[in-house]
Amino acid sequence: MDRHNTRAEQMLVNLGLHWGIESELPGPDQEMTLTLQFDESVTVVLSAEDDDLVVFGRLGEAPTHSKTFLENLLSANLFWRDTQGATLSLEPDTRAVLIAQRLPERDWREVEDLRQAIERFAHVQQSWMAEISDWEHSSDVQNFPTDVGQRV
């Protein structure tokens, strides 16, 4: 059975062409992604998910045993208060902090709309990378309890 390429996949190809990146539509059983490197530290990955696009990136590593850091991360996620619509998360195996945002088709009907959305996302990503870097160098001494019976 032939697989039909989605509008999201076609938009990633068009966006790549806009920035001088040649790519092809995926074949059967392949995923369509586009990776954009804005500078040495900010890398944004776009993935076609059904009829939407998902944009995501790595922010850094969560400080070990920092209750305050994780509280701040959760607070920023509250109704996307400090993320401009993106979601912050923690990858449990690596402690990598990630930022992701689903972009419905109405947000990127034209390449220019998508370009602007990605640039806004990259700006938020860069701001959070700086925030996490500051935490890595802070003297936050509030730790998670090491005894399972204790409560945070």
The CA-CA-CA angle for residues 88, 92, 97, to 5°, reads 30
Structure tokens at 18: 């806009």
Q: What is the pLDDT of residues 76-102, one digit of tens each?
A: 999 998 999 999 999 989 989 999 999
* Rounded Cα–Cα distance for residues 35 and 24 (Å): 14
Q: Which of 15-24, 48-57, 127-136 has the lowest mean pLDDT?
A: 15-24
Confidence check: pLDDT of 150 > 80: no
Q: At what angle do helices 111-136 and 7-18 cross, to 10 degrees?
A: 80
Distance between CA atoms of residues 125 and 88, nearest Å: 10
Instruction: Output 133 or 25, whichever has higher pLDDT.
Output: 133
CB-based burial, 45-69: b 16+ in 10 Å, e otherwise? ebbbeeebbbbbbbbbebbeebeeb
Tell me the C-alpha distance between 63 and 86, whole Å. 21
Mean pLDDT of 46-57: 92
Contact 150, 110 (CB under 8 A): no
pTM of the model: 0.80
For 12, half-sphere exposure in the C-beta direction (CA atoms, 13 angstrom radius) is 27
